Structure 1
Amino acid sequence: MKEVILALVTGLVVGFLFAWFKLPIPAPPALAGVVGIVGIYFGFKLYQWVAPMMERIF
């Protein structure tokens, strides 16, 4: 949980600094882009969970 809080705080600071210096945001500017990144993460985790089962079958 500590890593999640540190990542959130770091993201907030970086986002604030990017806005302050009027730089483009270093992440997808829309919620759909953020959800896509979350989907990629969960797809990767799903593969890690399913792959051992597939190895036993094939």
Structure 2
Amino acid sequence: MKETILALVAGLIVGIIFKFMKLPLPAPPVFSAVVGVFGVYFGGVIASWMVKFFQG
């Protein structure tokens, strides 16, 4: 949980800095970003499951 909170705080700080510097935010649109993160996470989970399944 600590890493999640630190990641959120770091993201907020970077977002504020980019906004004050009038730079485009370094993130894709909100919905596609969330879907992409879930895709990466579940891809890793499925890959781990497949390795365990085929090894034993």
User: What TM bracket, shorter-length normalisation?
Assistant: 0.7 to 0.9
Q: Which moved more, 1:6-15 or 1:27-36?
A: 27-36
What's the % identity of the aligned pairs? 50
Match of 1:2 in 2: 2
- 1:52 paired with 2:52, answer yes
Give TM-score scaled by structure 2 length: 0.77
Match of 1:21 in 2: 21
Task: Structure 1: give runs of 5+ residues left out of the alignment.
Answer: none
Give TM-score scaled by structure 1 length: 0.75
Q: Name the Cα RMSD after superposition.
A: 1.5
- 1:32 paired with 2:32, answer yes
Structure 2 counterpart of 1:37, which letter? V
How many angstroms apart in 2 are the aligned matches of 1:7 and 1:47? 25
Cα drift, residue 53 of structure 1: 0.5
Give structure 1 regions of 4+ aligned residues with deviation exceeding 3 angstroms: none
